[in-house]
């Protein structure tokens, strides 16, 4: 089992789309960054990469590379999923918090959860996203930027035992009667 944390901040500016968790949210400002500046997805990617000891998003998606200019962070998250799979990690859960004074994010949270879960190929009940304000304090409270933090738990697939004996009648993994996958 591995735990990772991620944190990201982006400045709010005019003439940019406001993308959060892969959702384009109507707002007078957007987040400044080389990619789409999706601060939530960036924090989640850093948590996942950190838990797997694979560095951070700057290592994998440097802002000096033109191919990442304006790219969807959800697409980058799919690449992180592939990196995790190469190391045989699976995502147990993600818990993330967005810190923003405005706009109100509650109506968009279910779609954000769905986008993150879909990009990672996991169930929506493994992803939790919350939003909070800082009661007008600090750079987020003054509307200068938005921050996000995330925590994740990864499990290595090698830690699971499978009954792969031909003709086994035990069902699924370790005698579980759950999915009844045939591992022979």
Is 139 assigned to a binding site? yes
Tens of pLDDT, residue by residue over 112-132, are 999 999 999 999 999 999 999
Is 41 assigned to a binding site? no
Is 26 assigned to a binding site? no
- The pLDDT value recorded for residue 158 is 82
- The pLDDT value recorded for residue 116 is 98
Cβ burial of 1 (10 Å; 0-12, 13-18, 19+) is exposed
Is 60 assigned to a binding site? no
Q: Is 156 helix (H, G, I), strand (E, B) or coil?
A: strand
Is 63 assigned to a binding site? yes
- Contacting residues for 66 by C-beta, under 8 A, at least 6 apart: none
Is 134 assigned to a binding site? yes
Is 18 assigned to a binding site? no
pTM for this prediction: 0.85
Gyration radius (Cα) of the chain, Å: 19
Is 9 assigned to a binding site? yes
Is 142 assigned to a binding site? no
What stretches in the chain show pLDDT beneath 50? 170, 181-184
CA-to-CA distance for 155 and 176, rounded, in angstroms?
18
Is 75 assigned to a binding site? no
Is 56 assigned to a binding site? yes
The structural domains of the chain, with segments of one domain joined by +, span 2-158
Is 95 assigned to a binding site? no
CA-to-CA distance for 183 and 177, rounded, in angstroms?
14
Is 79 assigned to a binding site? no
Is 133 assigned to a binding site? yes
Cβ burial of 42 (10 Å; 0-12, 13-18, 19+) is buried
Is 61 assigned to a binding site? yes
Of 129, 131, 73, the closest CA to residue 100 belongs to: 131
Pick the CATH number of 2-158 from 3.90.78.10, 3.40.190.10, 3.20.20.70, 3.30.1330.50: 3.30.1330.50
């Amino acid at each position: 089992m591995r735990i990772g944390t991620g944190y990201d901040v982006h400045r709010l500016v005019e003439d940019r789309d406001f993308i959060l968790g892969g959702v384009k949210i109507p707002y007078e400002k957007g987040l400044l960054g080389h990619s789409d500046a999706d601060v939530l997805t960036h924090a989640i990617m850093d948590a996942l990469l950190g838990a797997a000891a694979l560095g951070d998003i700057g290592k994998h998606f440097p802002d000096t590379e033109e191919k990442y200019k304006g790219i969807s962070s959800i697409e980058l998250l799919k690449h992180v999923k592939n990196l995790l799979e190469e190391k045989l990690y699976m995502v147990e859960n993600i818990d993330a918090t967005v810190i923003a004074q405005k706009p109100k994010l509650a109506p968009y949270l279910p779609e954000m959860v769905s986008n993150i879960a879909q990009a990672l190929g996991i169930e929506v009940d493994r992803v939790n996203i919350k939003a909070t304000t800082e009661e007008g304090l600090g750079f987020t409270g003054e509307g200068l930027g938005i921050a996000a933090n995330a925590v994740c738990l990864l499990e290595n697939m090698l830690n699971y035992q499978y009954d792969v004996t031909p003709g086994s009648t035990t069902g699924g993994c370790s005698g579980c009667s759950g999915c009844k996958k045939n591992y022979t």
